[in-house]
Amino acid sequence: MATAKLNPVIESISGRIGNAVFYCRYNRQCVRTYVVPANTDTVTRRKVGVNFAIAVKLWQQMTKDQKYTYTKKPVIQA
C-alpha cells in the first residue's frame, strides 16, 4: 500500500484513475493498484439474493403496526 501526500488545494481524492485506486484510511490518503474482482455470480449468492427480495416484499406488505411490533426492542428486566 502506498500513501499520498496532498497539497492544501486538494484535501482528499477517492476513486479510480487508470490502474490506481485512491482512498482514505485512518485519516490518511492511500493509493493501491486496481484488482479485477473475482466472479461472485454463484448459485449460493443468487439464492441469498432471491431470499432477500422475498423478505423485502413481505416487509413492504406489513402494516405500520406490524412493523413497529417487529422493530420494537424488548424490555430486559434484571
pLDDT at 52: 97
Does residue 6 lie in a domain region?
yes
Q: How far is CA 25 from the centre of its chain?
A: 15
Q: Which domain holds residue 56?
A: 37-70
**CA distance linking residue 74 with residue 4, whole number of Å:** 48
Residue 48 has pLDDT above 90, yes or no: yes
3-state secondary structure of 65: helix
Query: Given pLDDT bands bounded at 50, 70 and 90, which one contains residue 3?
Result: low
Maximum separation of any 2 CA atoms in the chain, in Å: 58
Is residue 48 domain-shared with residue 66, that is, in the same domain?
Answer: yes
Residue-level pLDDT at 64: 92
Task: Determine the Cα–Cα distance for residues 17 and 27; give it in Å rounded to an integer.
Answer: 20
Asked whether residue 17 is assigned to any structural domain, the reply reads yes
Distance CA 39, CA 69 (A): 40
Tell me what percent of the residues of the chain surpass a pLDDT of 90. 46
The letter for the amino acid at 1 is: M
How many domains does the chain contain in total? 2
